[in-house]
Structures are given as structure tokens and as C-alpha cells.
Amino acid sequence: MSEDKRFALAIGGGAVRLWPDLPREIQERLFEEAVGADVALRHALAQYLHDCHPRTAHPPDPPTRRDGRLGSIGDQGRHPSSAVGNKRE
């Protein structure tokens, strides 16, 4: 095995092990660089990463409020005007 291939395997293995800890932007850039235009490789690698690292399968759903709107769960029942500094007197 050539030194180039040995190094590529080493760095690739490191990237796979660190995958779940990498920011999504870095994951996407590495993935795109790795697969290029190879549709079959794209599908196979995506499946592999999703199987090995469930966190990358789907982004978590944003929290929802009781009224069904998106937002912080801790903000339930609060009106924006009741926030500190927004009260009218």
C-alpha cells in the first residue's frame, strides 16, 4: 500500500470515529468531498453513517409549545409584553 493511501485511510478512519462530534457543516463538507458525483457511493455512505451514528440520521425536532407553535417550551403561556423590560406602565 502506498504511503498516500495509508494516510488517506488513517485520516478517513479518524473522521468516521469523530463524525458524531463534528459540526453539521463540517460533516456535510466532508461527505460531499468524499462522494463527489458517485450516486451509489452517496447512498451507501449516507446509510453507513446513519446506521453507525444515529444522531446524524435526522436533525432533532425543535421544541413545540402546547399551542402547537414552535418556540421554547419554557415560554409557554408568556406574552412578549410580560418579558422583563417590555412592560408598559
Reported as a single tens digit per residue, the pLDDT across 44-86 is 999 999 888 876 555 555 666 666 665 555 544 544 544 454 4
Residue 27 has pLDDT above 60, yes or no: yes
Report pLDDT for 53. 81
- Backbone φ/ψ region at 36: left (φ over 0), alpha (ψ -120 to 50), beta: left
Q: Which residue has the higher pLDDT, 74 or 23?
A: 23
Q: Contact at 8 Å (CB) between 73 and 63? A: yes
Coil, strand or helix: which one is 72?
Answer: coil
Per-residue model confidence (pLDDT) at position 2: 96
